Amino acid sequence: MILVYINSTNGISKASFEAVTYAKKLGDVIALSNGSLSSDDLAHIGSYGASKVLVDRGVSGDDQQQVTRMIAEVASSNGVNTVVFSHDLHGKSIAPMLSVSMKAGLVQGAISLPDAEGCIDVNVFSGKAIGKVKVNSSSKIISLLPNSLPPEETGTACAVEEVATQAGNALIKVLSTKKPEGEIPLPEAELVVSAGRGLKGPENWGMVEDLAQILGAATACSRPVADIGWRPHHEHVGQTGVAIRPNLYIAIGISGAIQHLAGVNGSKVIVVVNTDPEAPFFKAADYGVVGDAFEVVPRLNEALKKFKAS
C-alpha cells in the first residue's frame, strides 16, 4: 500500500495531485491529511487515484514532528510500505524525520518513477547532474519534485474518513504567520519572470511586474539584487537561493553566472533578454533577445497583451 501525505497549509496544491498520480503508478493508494481542509476538497483527491482519504483534524501541521508521528502511525496500521510526499517546504522537512522513524530509505526530490532496477532520478550538484538513487530498505519514502509529471485526473471522488491518531502534542508554538496575499509561491510557479542587476534599480521593476501579471507568472531575481535589497530575499533563485523548474523562465538583465544557472537550469524553456550578446546565459537559453530590457520588455508586454486578447 502507498500512502500520500497531503499538506494542508495552503489548500491542496497541484503538486499534491502530482504526488497522488505518481503514487498510483506504483500501486494502491490512500491519502492522509490533517488540519481543516474541507471534506469535498479531500474527496477530490480520489479523482487522481486514491481509494480513500484519511484526515486527522486534531493535528494542525505547525509542528512537523507531530505530523511525522501521525503519518508513522497511519502507515503502520494500514500496511503501508511506501510514503510519497510532494517536495514542498513542508514535505522536505517531514520526510527526513519519517525516514528515521520508519527506518525507510528516503529519495528526496525525486524526478522520475523507479526504473527496472528500482533506481529513482534526483537532481544533484544543484541541477548540474542527475543521480540515480537506490533504496536499500524494504520501506521507502519518496518526495516528488513539483512539475516532474503531469497530474492525471482519471477517477472519481473517494470516501473521506476522520481519524484521531496518538500524535501527541505540538512542541512548536506559532507566534505569527505572514503570507503575502495573491502571490504565486515561486517553487510552484509554472511561469517565472526574473530580473537582475541589468535593471539598474528597484524603481525599474514595474515593467517586470507588468510582464508577470500579464502572464500570470511569479517574479524572481538574481542574488545581488536581493542582497542590495532591490527585491525581497524569497525571490532570490540560484544555487544559494530557491531552485526552481518552471515551464517558462524569462531572465532579464541577468548575466547567467554558474551559481544562478544552478537554480534555474531545470526550467523547460528559457528566454534571455540581455544587451550583451556574449552573456553566458545565452548558452543555456532556448530563445534569446539581444537588446536593451528597457525597450524589449515593454514591447514584449504589448505583444503579450495583443496575444491574450486574441
Partner 1 sequence: MKILVCISKAPDTTSKIAFTDGNSKFDENGVQFVVNPYDEWYALVRALEIKESTGGHVTIINVGQGSDDAIIRKALAIGADEAVRIDAEAKDAYYVAMQIAAYAKDNAYDLVLTGKETINYNGSQVGGMIAEGLSIPFVSLGSKLEISGTTLTVEREIVGGVQVIEVEAPAVISCAKGMAEQRIPNMRGIMAARTKPLNVIPAVDIADLTSFVSYEMPGEKSAVKIIDPENMDELVALLHSEAKVI
- Is 294 a binding residue for ligand FAD by CB under 6 A? The answer is yes
- Is 239 a binding residue for ligand FAD by CB under 6 A? The answer is yes
Helix, strand or coil, per DSSP, at residue 293: helix
- Is 293 a binding residue for ligand FAD by CB under 6 A? The answer is yes
Binds ligand FAD by CB under 6 A, chosen from 28, 183, 209, 292: 292
Query: Could you say which of partner 1, ligand FAD, none residue 45 binds, taking C-beta under 5 to 8 angstroms by partner kind?
Result: none
Considering the complex, state which of residue 25 and residue 233 has its C-beta at the smaller distance from partner 1: 233
* Grid coordinates given for 95: 520526510
Closest to 118 measured CA to CA, from 106, 103, 130, 133: 133
Minimum gap (Å) between residue 77 Cβ and ligand FAD = 43
- Is 240 a binding residue for ligand FAD by CB under 6 A? The answer is yes
* Burial of 273 from C-beta contacts in 10 A (0-12 / 13-18 / 19+): buried
Minimum gap (Å) between residue 289 Cβ and partner 1 = 5
Considering the complex, state which of residue 103 and residue 156 has its C-beta at the smaller distance from partner 1: 103
Q: 180-188: long-range contacts (C-beta < 8 A, 24 or more apart)? A: 183/218, 184/216, 184/217, 184/218, 185/10, 185/218, 186/218, 186/220, 186/234, 186/235, 186/237, 186/242, 186/244, 187/88, 187/89, 187/146, 187/242, 187/243, 187/244, 188/13, 188/14, 188/15, 188/88, 188/146
Considering the complex, state which of residue 50 and residue 262 has its C-beta at the smaller distance from partner 1: 262
Contact (CB, 8 A) for 8 and 34: yes
Contact (CB, 8 A) for 64 and 97: yes
- Is 66 a binding residue for ligand FAD by CB under 6 A? The answer is no
Stretch touching ligand FAD by CB under 6 A, among 12-20, 66-74, 148-156, 238-246: 238-246
Binding mask 189-218 for ligand FAD (x = CB under 6 A): -------xxx--------------------
- Is 254 a binding residue for ligand FAD by CB under 6 A? The answer is yes
Q: Report the distance separating Cα 234 and Cα 55, nearest Å.
A: 31
Given the rule CB under 6 A, which residues bind ligand FAD? 196-198, 222-225, 238-241, 253-255, 257, 259-260, 263, 273-276, 279, 292-294
